[in-house]
Amino acid sequence: MSGSWLDAVVFDEHGLVPAIAQDAGTGRILMFAFMNRESLALTQASGYATYWSRSRGKLWKKGEESGHRQRVRAMRLDCDGDVVLLQIEQEGGIACHTGRESCFFRQLITQDGEPNWQTTDPILKDPSRIYSS
Amino acid sequence: MSGSWLDAVVFDEHGLVPAIAQDAGTGRILMFAFMNRESLALTQASGYATYWSRSRGKLWKKGEESGHRQRVRAMRLDCDGDVVLLQIEQEGGIACHTGRESCFFRQLITQDGEPNWQTTDPILKDPSRIYSS
C-alpha cells in the first residue's frame, strides 16, 4: 500500500473516501460507495473496483458474488482530494443490487404540483437470480 | 419543507446527504457536495442547486458569488435513498473553485510503473477574477 498517489487522497475520520462509479462509455452514474486506503490500492493494482462495505465492515470486491465486476478505465480525484471518480466498464450491464443498470433509477417528477420519486428504469435481472449461487 | 419526497431521502447522522452534480448535456461529473433537508427543498423549489457548506456551516447557494449557478434539469435518488444526483446546466461552464469546468481535473496516470495524479484540465478563468467582486 505504498505510493505517494495514495497520500494525495484525503480520507475522512473513518478512513474512507466517497467513490462515484460512472460508465466510461455512456457517462451514466451507476453507483456510489466508499473506499478505504486498502480498497483504493487494490482497485488500482487489480484494475477492478474494490470498495469498503460500511454495513459489513469489510472489503467489498464488487461483482465477487454477482459476477458484475467493474473494470476500471480511469480514476479521477477532485480538487479537495476527498472524492474519487471511477470510470468503469460494468460487466453484465448491471451495477445495482436491485438488478438495474444504475442505482439512480428514481427521478423526481412533479405531477399536479406534487414532486415524487418515480422509478424510471427497468429491472434487467431478478436479484434472486443474481445472488442465487 | 413539507413533502413526502423529502421523507424518502435518508440523511446521515449530521442531517446530510451526498450530492453529485453532473452536466446534463455531456454527462461529465462536475462536483460533489452535501445537502441538508432545507437545501434539497430549496433546490427543488428554485430550480437551482443549493448545497450545505460543511466548512462554513451554512447554506451554499452555488454561484451566488461566482455567478456559476447550476440550473437543475433532473434530480435522481439512489437505491438506498442516501445519495442524490443532480443533472444540471452549469452556467459559465465552470463548476470548480479553481476555475476549471469540473472538480475532477486530476487523473491517475501510470508512467514508468508509478501511478500519479496528473492535472488533465485547463483553468478556464483565474479564480481571482471569479471571486473578485
**Which tens digit of pLDDT belongs to each residue from B28-54?**
999 999 999 999 999 999 999 999 999
- The pTM of this model reads 0.96
Count CA atoms closer than 13 A to A114's CA, side-chain side: 6
> What is the architecture, at CATH level 2, of domain B4-97?
Roll (3.10)
Test mutation, B2, B7, B20, chain A, max A CBs within 10 A? B20
Which strand (E) or helix (H) includes residue A6? helix A4-7
Q: Residue B15 and residue B35: Cα distance in Å, rounded?
A: 8
**pLDDT in single tens digits along all 133 residues of chain A:** 557 999 999 999 999 999 999 999 999 999 999 999 999 999 999 999 999 999 999 999 999 989 999 999 999 999 999 999 999 999 999 999 999 999 999 999 999 999 999 999 999 999 999 886 5
Is A4-130 in CATH node 3.10.20.810? yes
From the list B4, B27, B116, the residue facing A5 with the nearest CB is B116
Q: Residue B71 and residue A36: Cα distance in Å, rounded?
A: 33
Count CA atoms closer than 13 A to A109's CA, side-chain side: 8
From the list A32, A77, A97, the residue facing B117 with the nearest CB is A77
Identify all chain A residues contacting B103, using CB atoms and an 8 Å cutoff: 78-80, 83
Phi and psi (nearest 5°) for B10? -95, 110
The C-alpha angle with vertex A74 and arms to A72 and A76, in degrees rounded to 5, equals: 125
Identify all chain B residues contacting A96, using CB atoms and an 8 Å cutoff: 79
Cα-Cα-Cα-Cα torsion A8, B30, A85, B100, nearest 10 degrees, comes to: -40
Name the one residue in this structure whose C-alpha cell is 460500511. Answer: A54
Cell numbers placing B75 = 434530480
Band (B133; pLDDT cuts 50, 70, 90): low
B116 contacts A74? CB cut-off 8 A:
no
